[in-house]
Amino acid sequence: MTAHARRVLVVTAGETDGLPETLHERIARTRAEVLVVVTASNSRLRHWASDLDGARRNAEERVCRCVEHLRLSGFDAEGMIGDADPAQAIEDALAVYDADVVVVDGNLADDARRRVGLPIVPVRAAA
């Protein structure tokens, strides 16, 4: 990854088909490094029963699709699975990734603004 690239953290619970366009339009007209964190969302019952395998498989598939889509759109992208709690996923990712800006699902933007001292960009995600 290059030293002058913008560093973008994306945390999402859903599909983000329009993510490359959002990044190009609102964040990085030049080269950007992107870390995509997909939360391992699960139903309350499955979470209570500690049945996390399906949630992790689903998150792994989504992160792979998102990273591939970003790479095909010209971004230097990596991905990982995050905590089921989006706020915790953001905090965990920022502990290991020095981001300039955080992109989150629109419904998480207000909470992220309260917790993170970085610019927050909401993106609409599909379920």
- For the chain, the domains span 6-123
Under 8 Å CB-to-CB from 125, ≥6 apart: which residues? 12, 13, 14, 15, 16, 105, 106
User: Per the structure block, which two tokens stand in for 22?
Assistant: 């959002």
The 10s digit of each residue's pLDDT in 50-69 is 555 677 888 899 899 999 99
> For residue 84, what is the DSSP state?
S
The CATH number given to 6-123 is 3.40.50.620
Per-residue confidence (pLDDT) for residue 24, from 0 to 100: 85
Helix (H, G, I), strand (E, B) or coil at 122: strand
The 10s digit of each residue's pLDDT in 6-23 is 899 999 887 777 888 888
pTM of the entire predicted model = 0.85
